[in-house]
Amino acid sequence: MISLKLAPLSTKFIKLLLAILFAVFVFEKSSDRSYINFDSIFYTASAHILEGNDAYASHSYSWELLKLKAEKSVFDNLCCSSSYRLSMFKNPEAFISHLPSYQTKSLYVFIVKIVANLFDSDEFEAQKIISLTSSCLLIMLSMFFLFQSNLYIYLMMIPIFLLMQIIPLTRLLTPDSLNALIFLSAGISFLNNKKILGYLLLLGSILIRQTNIIFYGAFLLFELRNKNYVKFLIMASFGLALYWLNSSYFESIGYWKTYYSSLISMPDTFIGFNPSFDISILFSTLLGKLNWMLGSSELNRLISLMILTFLVSLINLKNVKEIDLDDALVPVFFSAGAVITYILIPFPDFRIYAGYLLASIFTLMFGIAKRNKAD
């Protein structure tokens, strides 16, 4: 009798211990050395502008700060390893012309400045704090909401996090860890019948990465499904208005310039950069990137996980009862949104899609755990 009473307590203790140990492991592996990536220079400049500094002063500030923080080999790589990087370093006008690509991630930039002020640190350190904190919260939040589930379902989250490259994601000074945390939180909200909170999180995520409007639109299909047509139109208008205001205020370079510069040819400056639109480039680039990524031992994992997650979520959708249909649609929306995002701009970069795929897999498992508990 005693062992039977202790068994649930032992299981809970093991779950709690594993969650803490894994979070500590990720934290230690992600912060064991200095990691500075190129994008963080622009986020630093963007955050510096929020204090009322002009763009020229922010260009000088971000590079001077980088010179103080980075090893010489790292700095030389970031400033001068290509004609584009050299232009961003030497030419303030060229640097400023590219700033809108980062300023449109306005919520992330604002959080960087808030964290820097709160911890009396510089913007590079603030980005590191955000990435580390977001990833640790991501782990603890997922483990918390799966705490009452079957031990085997619970244990699956650890290899899933590793497959989703949680450690490289945490090392980067980019919005991607925060983006993953927001998407996981939104998924949990929808599965706990807190749709308004879920919508608000997805709405805010548009200010983290503009392509997140795809997911906001996908989840609004819940309102069409429930025949809430007026609510759908109002909320869709909010999303489009926020997207437009953010893009207009920060003078976004737009979809085609982003696509062309990221996937075809990066110019040394965006001043006067105006490539002509050609729809055939979209198809040829998509097929070319897909073919290249499938043949890469590193990048074919992204395509495989994207397709696998989408198919498994569809299988789950087909096999649930009508009462559980809304829950089963959540991972479908996440995985379908990831596929659509890739098709629109096929970046060969796992970090961009990791949050979407992680949210899809987690909500799939959480939905299964909920149904098992109900049965």
pLDDT one-digit tens code per residue, 263-281: 888 888 899 888 888 889 8
DSSP string, 199-224: HHHHHHHTTT-GGGHHHHHHHTHHHH
**Average pLDDT along the chain, 375 residues, taken 10 residues at a time:** 48 83 88 84 94 90 92 89 91 93 95 94 93 92 82 84 88 92 95 94 95 95 92 95 94 89 88 88 91 87 92 90 87 95 90 92 85 64
pLDDT of residue 116: 94
| Gap between the Cα atoms of 66 and 73, Å rounded | 12
| Gap between the Cα atoms of 284 and 263, Å rounded | 11
Torsions phi, psi of 54, nearest 5? -80, 170
Structure tokens at 254: 């737009």
| Gap between the Cα atoms of 177 and 127, Å rounded | 10
**Into how many domains does the chain fold?**
1
**Which domain covers residue 350, as residue numbers?**
2-27+35-374
Structure tokens at 140: 């603890």
Structure tokens at 28: 């230690």
- For residue 194, the SS3 value is coil
| Gap between the Cα atoms of 243 and 230, Å rounded | 20
pLDDT one-digit tens code per residue, 28-43: 888 877 788 899 999 9
Cβ density class 60-95: b for 16+ within 10 Å, e for less: ebbbebbeeebeeeebeebbeeeebbebbbeebebb
Tally the residues of the chain.
Answer: 375
Closest C-alpha among 105, 135, 134, 133 to residue 44: 105
| Torsion from C-alpha of 292, 337, 205, 45, nearest 10 degrees | 10
pLDDT of residue 53: 84
pLDDT of residue 152: 79
Structure tokens at 10: 């032992």
| Torsion from C-alpha of 182, 305, 334, 331, nearest 10 degrees | -110
Query: CB under 8 Å, gap of 24 or more: what pairs does 60-68 form?
Result: 60/92, 62/123, 63/89, 65/122, 65/123, 65/124, 66/36, 66/41, 66/124
- Angle (CA) 99-205-66 rounded to 5° is 35
pLDDT of residue 8: 65
pLDDT of residue 81: 85
| Gap between the Cα atoms of 75 and 71, Å rounded | 6
| Gap between the Cα atoms of 253 and 84, Å rounded | 17
Contact call for residues 128 and 172 (beta carbons, < 8 A): no
